[in-house]
């Protein structure tokens, strides 16, 4: 299903050639002062990195995962990760949109593209994701896209610096799911 497009945005599976641009985009979208330009970010919850080149390389080379990239005129402006969890379930994570471009529909478009890609590539019937509990505005945004809280929680990897340096110790993930058509 890669190749979904709007007049301005097209999607495709990311490649190792995209690695530098992907890493930079994800860090801008999630951390530090540049992230604050967007409508939602983790800058008040976490310092440090969001991911590293090794993790992104693993994603880009694993057939059970895909990094879906969104481009405008050849410039990467959005991305997200899909993981085949088996049993008809896919996991969506690491949605990143250029901070200056947030609140313009790119995230909504990428979610729709990811859902279609998960069905086509993995045969998914359910999409699952985790969101940090302390991000109610983001949880509400996903709920407006049809995702529902499952009541499940998962621990945040507080001691794993690959995912950032917590500014508070009560971080945890809430699980959301959506049935795919």
pLDDT value of residue 122: 97
Tell me the average pLDDT across 69-74.
93
Instruction: Please state, in angstroms and rounded to a whole number, the distance separating the CA atoms of residues 139 and 98.
Output: 19
Q: What is the pLDDT of residues 83-107, one digit of tens each?
A: 999 999 999 999 999 888 888 889 9
Tell me the average pLDDT across 153-178.
87
Question: Domains (ranges, CATH) in the chain?
Answer: 10-129 (3.40.630.30)
110 pLDDT exceeds 60? yes
pLDDT value of residue 131: 94
């Amino acid at each position: 299903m890669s190749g979904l497009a709007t007049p301005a945005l097209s999607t495709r599976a990311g490649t190792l050639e995209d690695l530098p641009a992907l890493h930079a985009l994800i860090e801008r979208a999630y951390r530090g002062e540049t992230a604050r330009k967007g409508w939602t970010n983790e800058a008040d919850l976490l310092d440090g990195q969001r991911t590293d080149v090794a993790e992104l390389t693993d994603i880009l080379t694993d057939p059970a995962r895909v990094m879906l990239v969104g481009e405008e005129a050849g410039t990467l402006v959005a991305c997200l990760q899909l993981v085949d969890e088996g049993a008809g379930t896919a996991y969506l994570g690491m949605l990143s949109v250029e901070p200056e471009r947030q609140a313009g529909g790119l995230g909504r478009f990428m979610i729709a593209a990811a859902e279609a890609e998960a069905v086509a590539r993995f045969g998914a019937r359910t999409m699952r994701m985790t969101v940090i509990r302390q991000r109610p505005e983001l949880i509400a945004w996903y709920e407006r896209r049809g995702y529902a809280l499952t009541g499940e929680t998962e621990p945040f990897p507080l001691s794993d610096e690959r995912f950032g340096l917590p500014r508070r110790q009560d971080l945890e993930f809430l699980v959301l799911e959506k049935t795919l058509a």
